[in-house]
Amino acid sequence: MPRKMRDIRRPQNMKNTICRIFHYIRDYRIQFIFVLLGILGGALANIIGTSLLKPLINLYIVPWIGSEQPELSGFISLLVKMGTVFLVGVFSTYLFNRLMLNISTGALYKIRTDLFDHMEKLPIQYYDTHTHGELMSRFTNDVDTLREMLSQGLPQLISALISIVGVFIMMLLLSPVLTFLVVLMLVIMLQVIKYIGSRSGRYFQKQQAALGKVNGYIEEMIEGQKVVKVFCRENQVEEEFETLNEALREAASNANTYANVLMPIMGNLSHINYAITAAAGALMVIGGFLDLGTIAAFLQYSRNFGMPITQVSQQFNNILNALAGAERIFNLIDVPEEVDNGYVTLVRCTEENGEIVETQQYTGMWAWKHPHSDGTLTYTRLQGDVRFEDVTFSYDGKKDVLKNISLYAKPGQKIAFVGSTGAGKTTITNLINRFYDVPDGKIRYDGININKIRKDDLRRSLGMVLQDTHLFTGTVKENIRYGNLEATDEEILRAAKLANADGFIRHLPQGYDTVLTADGANLSQGQRQLLAIARAAVANPPVLILDEATSSIDTRTEALIEKGMDTLMEGRTVFVIAHRLSTVRNSDAIMVLENGQIIERGDHDQLLAEKGKYFQLYTGMFELS
Amino acid sequence: MYRQIFHCLGAYKKYALLAPVTVIGEVILEVLIPMMMARIINIGISNGDVPYVIKMGAVMIITALLSLCFGALSGRFAAVAATGLSKGLRKKLFHQVQDFSFSNIDKFSTASLITRLTTDVTNTQNAFQMVIRMLVRAPIMLVLATFMAVRINASLAGIFLVAVPVLAVSLGLIISLAFPRFTKMLKKYDALNADVQENLIAIRVVKAFVREKFENEKFHNSADLLRAAQKKAEKIIIFNMPIMQFVMYGCMIAVCWFGGMQIISGHMETGDLMSFFSYLTQILMSLMMVAMICVMLVLSKASITRILEIFDESPDIQNPSASAVMENGSIVFENVNFSYGNDPQNLTLQNISLTIHSGETVGIIGGTGSAKTTLVQLIPRLYDVLQGRVLVGGHDVREYDLKSLRDQVAMVLQKNVLFSGSIRSNLKWGNENASEQEISAACQAAQAENFILSFPDGYDTDLGQGGVNVSGGQKQRLCIARALLKKPKIIILDDSTSAVDTATDSKIRAAFREELAGTTTIIIAQRISSICDADKIIVLNEGKIDAIGTHEELLKNNAIYREVYESQQKGVA
């Protein structure tokens, strides 16, 4: 898998993590039982098959040496028996691998989708405090190591453990004395593993730290490569890189050394073991304590003994890593979802005799359905009346970003927010759609406390065009349809025309069916904003929030889409945030924000007449003409 | 193709040679061990010769110890060589990227350059380490073990003549069947990751449009496709183990039968049968190993190719051997045509001719996509013209040493970047040796000093990666200050105050007028207010100069300019 950057972090709560992994396997429990049986079968077949070597030599070969007419029927039937055992082993190996594939892919599918579904439900605060890279690595690194563990590590570990136990028992049965020698060797091997393992772990961590630094530096410099060139800093940058690069080389060569020497050392220790067994066994045969068949079988076993021990020692680290990764995944899944205690919902309605009646049909009319504690239901027509009453808000609980904000927007009004970066303009819109929550009753929508409105329904009633436009991989048409999944092609076309996007879309290679890639990289910033506007238009919401929606569109194009925007805004409550004052001039009310407070409010003419901050800002662009 | 890669080994070449040599030593010794075991049994036991058994036992242990030393050494050498290679690769790649011109950088995207320098280098390192250890070990083991087996009993070794081809063909078949499926799986995997990435970036849009369920369905679909692709690919790979076991067990039975018959008829000894089992395992295991390495190599080939693509990309802006000396800050474009793809049919700039005198302030205005940025990027020779020429300070830009040209032409990019470190260390990019006064003066001119001093740590405030700790407008002002510190003859501001409010914007321009009186200043702007006091304003439209003139002239004579102006002034009495 690409991007393998593992860090050794031990899982905190191993038992719980393992339980949860098994929870994902639960649906496959019958298959899993067969997997265990398969592993057992494979390991036992090897052990039993090898054990047949002893009678083979002792009963059917040695007694007939030099004989002209050896009795072969026993020999043949034993070989057939051996073949059968081995065939069962081969079949078991295939079976458990095949079943494990079902289980691991199935469990991973479930884990991935659970992770993603949960991610979508996380509150915006979570995204503010965690980097994309961090969340991404849950999906890549952590899921990958888990995949390796499920499909390879776990079966290998189980199989190796069975082999160790089985081979040990068989050796004990064949010759307790020789087994004692093997156990002595085993103790040495375990010491070596422990020593190398702890060293390797330490250097591995150093390597990861150095790799992190190098990769971070590469990322930063390459992202800023054009700046590096403009400032001719190539040489300095290369020098700095060289230092980091050498540090990484040193750490990596140490870490890799320990990883590399484990296999040859273990392999050769098992050769030494083999040598001792052979010599000691031979002496015992000479002394008459042992027969040839036993020593043949024993030697074969002692060869089979070193391998699983090395495997266990290698898999053990991988499994700990995978568990640590799994734990991080589960920790993310455990992060509380965005809370929504809203119970007021948005329903389609018609009006009969002045009464609002809920209906299933599309009427173009919506109402808030408000159940009360006494069991009654009231319906309020969705109009787009938004009020703030003395709202104070802080992201971190320390610094107030908004202070005592009160405002009202009557249905159909256009309210604009003006102010410098950081004045709190975007925060206001973030509160309206409940990306962040304020105490009860502070914000009312059509007279209803917005904390009582179900978030999904609230957001559905708000159309947003955000400062940073994000498009999705898919066709232009699909991207516009994002605003309203039920929109017909005709409606999409109308929305695109309204946003003045139709022109450039038609010039794209496949028109509306052009596939946009990687966040719409093949479109200019301005074109992307036009698509975002079309997307909001197709959603057809009663309230529209335009957060710097036209900042990347040049003023000429903006003038061209102004008519479309006017049509879009007609009859809707609109909140506009803009740097460019020309965009907000015709608003019903303009709020000038500074340091989280509204310092001026009024329409364009009133504010100009006040000769306050707005006047200054407005004439600031005018000073010379 | 691989020569360039090996070249990056540099001083670590000797380790790259020592590793396989020690591996060979290890393998030779390892292959001897079963033979000695056979001797112990055949000679020692049948003759009841205790000293011989002890002697051979000791020799075996010493052989194994030597083999252990060789093995450990080879591990060390391989680690040093492989990490040395990856260091060399990173160094060369990084150097190469530093040499790239803008158009080279555009050709590879930033993300792809980063992947090449990180993941691809790591993959190559792993593959290389594998090659110098395993790819030497396995075939030699195969040959030597076969040799030993033939020596012990040539007719019994005939079994391998059947077994080895059977195993080789089936492994080859498995790999060739599985490989395309794995490629497909990796594609699905990338698509899945792209899905996640997209949702992380656009989470606010997803939430604002209440599309969580929709996105979930999309993701479930991608995850399901990945699951299916993975199953399809691995379904084949899992045949590896059982087939290997099948061949091995088959061989064991065959060896038992034929070997047993030969022992009975007195043509073979019991000890040889046992050592035969050992060679059998060694031979088949090494074959398995070769197959595995082939898979690894094929997988890493993609990484190597991507690295080589960078090595082979020649920087398309070459530094001249001798540099001209810049006389002043004048700029002349002579019939310049430019195309990003060097395609005369698809010109981004067409027939541009203009003269800017030293010390003038010039505004450039035009709609999205009118090639404003492209025009100014030709001045510090970030790109080369297709036809015509650009003269700066009296000489063609191609006659200057790039460093001396760019030191004199400061450019504040539209997409600008600050680096991790303090504000001061970022500002010093403009001039390594700038004094406190110079830094302070530049920041005052860029209207940045006030907010810098409002931070608790002032100029030593840590910016965090990508300058995350400052707002967009503040970032732009720092970038301007950084450029000012160069004390250039020409300064270009490419829409560099778009996030700065109008009042601050006008203060910056006032400071420029006073303090940079002799400096040629070029300002690209969306706002008429940012450029209306310029000596000269260039109106660009679809890559052509629509008009050049002062604010008043253009208002009178140029339709586009008037339109932009009106769109920004409407409603003002």
Over residues A374-396, the pLDDT tens digits come to 888 888 888 888 999 999 988 87
Token code pair at residue A24: 């994902």
Kindly report, residue by residue over B265-321, the tens digit of the pLDDT.
888 888 888 888 888 888 888 888 887 787 778 778 888 888 999 999 888 888 888
A433 touches chain B (CB under 8 A): yes
| H or E segment and range at residue A81 | helix A73-121
* Mean pLDDT of the region A501-529: 78
Query: Do B278 and B365 sit in the same domain of this protein?
Result: no
Query: Do B154 and B243 sit in the same domain of this protein?
Result: yes
Query: Do B218 and B126 sit in the same domain of this protein?
Result: yes
Query: Is residue A625 scored above 50 in pLDDT?
Result: no
Question: Which residue among B98, B264, B430 places its CB closest to the CB of A231?
Answer: B430
Q: So what's the pLDDT on residue A421?
A: 66
- With an 8 Å Cβ cutoff, are B227 and A106 in contact? yes
Query: Do B294 and B343 sit in the same domain of this protein?
Result: no
In chain A, which residues have their Cβ closer than 8 Å to the Cβ of B238? Answer: 94, 97-98, 101
Q: How many domains does chain B have?
A: 2
Question: Which residue among A116, A215, A579 places its CB closest to the CB of B196?
Answer: A116
Task: Answer for the pair B442, B427: CB distance below 8 angstroms, yes or no.
Answer: yes
Q: So what's the pLDDT on residue A1?
A: 30
Beta strands in A224-354 (DSSP E): 345-352
**Residue B441, domain member (yes or no):** no
Interface probe, candidates B36, B50, B98, chain A, greatest A C-beta count within 10 A: B98
* Region of residue B391 (phi > 0: left; psi between -120 and 50: alpha; otherwise: beta): beta
Query: Is residue A7 scored above 60 in pLDDT?
Result: no
- Percent over 90 (pLDDT), chain B: 34
Q: So what's the pLDDT on residue A248?
A: 94
- Percent over 90 (pLDDT), chain A: 17
B402: number of Cβ within 10 Å: 21
How far apart, in whole angstroms, are the C-alpha atoms of residue A417 and residue A588?
Answer: 11
Tokens 């006040």 found at:
A610
In chain B, which residues have their Cβ closer than 8 Å to the Cβ of A433? Answer: 207-208
- With an 8 Å Cβ cutoff, are B234 and A267 in contact? no
* Region of residue B333 (phi > 0: left; psi between -120 and 50: alpha; otherwise: beta): beta
More confident residue, B552 or B205: B552
- With an 8 Å Cβ cutoff, are B382 and A303 in contact? no
Rounded to the nearest angstrom, the minimum Cα separation between B555 and chain A is 11
Question: Which residue among A102, A253, A617 places its CB closest to the CB of B503?
Answer: A617
Q: So what's the pLDDT on residue A38?
A: 93
Q: So what's the pLDDT on residue A79?
A: 92
How far apart, in whole angstroms, are the C-alpha atoms of residue A168 and residue A120?
Answer: 52
More confident residue, A548 or A177: A177
- With an 8 Å Cβ cutoff, are A292 and B50 in contact? no
Kindly report, residue by residue over B7-65, the tens digit of the pLDDT.
888 889 999 999 999 999 999 998 898 888 888 888 888 888 889 999 999 999 999 99
Query: Do B280 and B395 sit in the same domain of this protein?
Result: no
**Residue B96, domain member (yes or no):** yes
Q: So what's the pLDDT on residue A254?
A: 92
How far apart, in whole angstroms, are the C-alpha atoms of residue A55 and residue A294?
Answer: 8
Query: Is residue A3 scored above 60 in pLDDT?
Result: no
- Tell me the three state secondary structure of residue B359: coil
Tokens 């590096």 found at:
A228
Query: Do B273 and B335 sit in the same domain of this protein?
Result: no
Report the CATH number at residue B541.
3.40.50.300
Query: Is residue B134 scored above 90 in pLDDT?
Result: no
A606 touches chain B (CB under 8 A): no
**Residue B317, domain member (yes or no):** no
Query: Is residue B6 scored above 80 in pLDDT?
Result: yes
* Mean pLDDT of the region B340-365: 88
With CA atoms as reference, the chain B residue closest to A102 would be: B231
Query: Do B177 and B63 sit in the same domain of this protein?
Result: yes
Q: Which 533-562 residues of chain A touch chain B by CB within 8 A?
A: 535, 539, 551-559
- With an 8 Å Cβ cutoff, are A253 and B84 in contact? yes
* Mean pLDDT of the region B94-122: 84
pLDDT confidence bin for B572, thresholds 50/70/90 = very low
Highest mean pLDDT among A496-505, B72-81, B199-208: B72-81
- With an 8 Å Cβ cutoff, are B201 and A556 in contact? no
In chain B, which residues have their Cβ closer than 8 Å to the Cβ of A97? Answer: 238, 241-242
Q: So what's the pLDDT on residue A2?
A: 33
- With an 8 Å Cβ cutoff, are A303 and B61 in contact? no
Render B468-511 in DSSP notation, one character per residue. TTS-HHHHHHHHHHHHHTT--SEEEEESTTTTS-HHHHHHHHHH
Q: So what's the pLDDT on residue B539?
A: 92
- Tell me the three state secondary structure of residue A264: helix
Q: What is the 3-state secondary structure (H, E, C) of B266-296?
A: CCCCHHHHHHHHHHHHHHHHHHHHHHHHHHH
- Tell me the three state secondary structure of residue B382: coil
Query: Is residue A137 scored above 70 in pLDDT?
Result: yes
Kindly report, residue by residue over A287-307, the tens digit of the pLDDT.
888 888 888 888 888 877 877
Beta strands in B43-87 (DSSP E): none
**Residue B6, domain member (yes or no):** yes
In chain A, which residues have their Cβ closer than 8 Å to the Cβ of B564? Answer: 554-556
Q: So what's the pLDDT on residue B571?
A: 43
In chain B, which residues have their Cβ closer than 8 Å to the Cβ of A3? Answer: 118-119
**Residue B456, domain member (yes or no):** no
- With an 8 Å Cβ cutoff, are B113 and A539 in contact? no
Indicate the pTM of the whole model: 0.77
* Mean pLDDT of the region A324-329: 88
More confident residue, B442 or A557: B442
Kindly report, residue by residue over A409-456, the tens digit of the pLDDT.
888 889 998 877 667 888 888 899 888 888 777 899 998 999 999 988
pLDDT confidence bin for A5, thresholds 50/70/90 = very low
In chain B, which residues have their Cβ closer than 8 Å to the Cβ of A117? Answer: 216, 219
Token code pair at residue B92: 């060369």
B80 touches chain A (CB under 8 A): yes
* Region of residue A39 (phi > 0: left; psi between -120 and 50: alpha; otherwise: beta): alpha
Question: Which residue among A67, A236, A623 places its CB closest to the CB of B264?
Answer: A67
**Residue B348, domain member (yes or no):** yes
Residues 6+ apart with CB under 8 A from B250: B163
Q: Which 299-358 residues of chain B touch chain A by CB within 8 A?
A: none
Size of interface A-B (CB pairs under 8 A): 458
How far apart, in whole angstroms, are the C-alpha atoms of residue B402 and residue A27?
Answer: 65
**Residue B422, domain member (yes or no):** no
Kindly report, residue by residue over B245-272, the tens digit of the pLDDT.
899 899 989 999 999 888 888 888 888 8
Rounded to the nearest angstrom, the minimum Cα separation between A234 and chain B is 6
With CA atoms as reference, the chain A residue closest to B381 would be: A230
Render A273-290 in DSSP notation, one character per residue. HHHHHHHHHHHHHHTTSS
With CA atoms as reference, the chain A residue closest to B76 would be: A257
B494 touches chain A (CB under 8 A): no
- With an 8 Å Cβ cutoff, are B572 and A622 in contact? yes
- Tell me the three state secondary structure of residue A509: coil
In chain A, which residues have their Cβ closer than 8 Å to the Cβ of B206? Answer: 120
Report the CATH number at residue B243.
1.20.1560.10
With CA atoms as reference, the chain A residue closest to B247 would be: A90
Q: So what's the pLDDT on residue A621?
A: 45
The one-letter code for the residue type at A141 is: N
In chain B, which residues have their Cβ closer than 8 Å to the Cβ of A53? Answer: 256
Query: Do B275 and B370 sit in the same domain of this protein?
Result: no
In chain A, which residues have their Cβ closer than 8 Å to the Cβ of B129? Answer: 256, 260
Task: Answer for the pair A480, A463: CB distance below 8 angstroms, yes or no.
Answer: no
Query: Is residue A256 scored above 80 in pLDDT?
Result: yes
In chain A, which residues have their Cβ closer than 8 Å to the Cβ of B473? Answer: 420-421
Query: Do B222 and B352 sit in the same domain of this protein?
Result: no
How far apart, in whole angstroms, are the C-alpha atoms of residue B227 and residue A102?
Answer: 9
Q: So what's the pLDDT on residue B482?
A: 92
Query: Is residue B471 scored above 50 in pLDDT?
Result: yes
- With an 8 Å Cβ cutoff, are A466 and B204 in contact? yes
**Residue B440, domain member (yes or no):** no
- With an 8 Å Cβ cutoff, are B197 and A136 in contact? yes
- Percent over 70 (pLDDT), chain B: 98
Q: So what's the pLDDT on residue A99?
A: 94
Q: So what's the pLDDT on residue B518?
A: 86
- With an 8 Å Cβ cutoff, are B471 and A422 in contact? yes
Cα A213 → chain centroid:
23
B517 touches chain A (CB under 8 A): no
Q: What is the mean pLDDT of chain A?
A: 84
ipTM, 2 dp: 0.83
Q: So what's the pLDDT on residue A552?
A: 64
Kindly report, residue by residue over A74-107, the tens digit of the pLDDT.
889 999 999 999 999 999 999 999 999 999 999 9
Backbone angles phi, psi at A428, to 5 degrees: -60, -45
Q: What is the mean pLDDT of chain B?
A: 87
* Mean pLDDT of the region A131-144: 81
In chain B, which residues have their Cβ closer than 8 Å to the Cβ of A470? Answer: 198, 201-202, 204-205
In chain A, which residues have their Cβ closer than 8 Å to the Cβ of B41? Answer: 278, 282, 292, 295
* Mean pLDDT of the region B361-382: 87
Q: So what's the pLDDT on residue A113?
A: 94
Query: Do B255 and B345 sit in the same domain of this protein?
Result: no
With CA atoms as reference, the chain B residue closest to A541 would be: B209
Query: Do B81 and B195 sit in the same domain of this protein?
Result: yes
| Last residue within a domain, chosen from B312, B341, B371 | B312
How far apart, in whole angstroms, are the C-alpha atoms of residue B516 and residue B495?
Answer: 18
Rounded to the nearest angstrom, the minimum Cα separation between A353 and chain B is 33
Query: Is residue B90 scored above 90 in pLDDT?
Result: yes
| Last residue within a domain, chosen from B312, B346, B363 | B312
A421 touches chain B (CB under 8 A): yes
Question: Which residue among B210, B239, B241 places its CB closest to the CB of A456?
Answer: B210
Question: Which residue among A82, A256, A604 places its CB closest to the CB of B82?
Answer: A256
Q: So what's the pLDDT on residue B465?
A: 61
Kindly report, residue by residue over A193-246, the tens digit of the pLDDT.
888 888 888 888 888 889 888 988 888 888 888 888 888 888 889 999 999 999
User: Domain range holding B541?
Assistant: 331-415+489-572
How far apart, in whole angstroms, are the C-alpha atoms of residue A310 and residue A259?
Answer: 12
In chain A, which residues have their Cβ closer than 8 Å to the Cβ of B413? Answer: 226-227, 230
A616 touches chain B (CB under 8 A): yes
Q: So what's the pLDDT on residue B77?
A: 95
In chain A, which residues have their Cβ closer than 8 Å to the Cβ of B429? Answer: 227, 231, 233
* Mean pLDDT of the region B447-467: 83
Rounded to the nearest angstrom, the minimum Cα separation between B526 and chain A is 6
Query: Do B84 and B214 sit in the same domain of this protein?
Result: yes
B454 touches chain A (CB under 8 A): no
pLDDT confidence bin for A8, thresholds 50/70/90 = very low
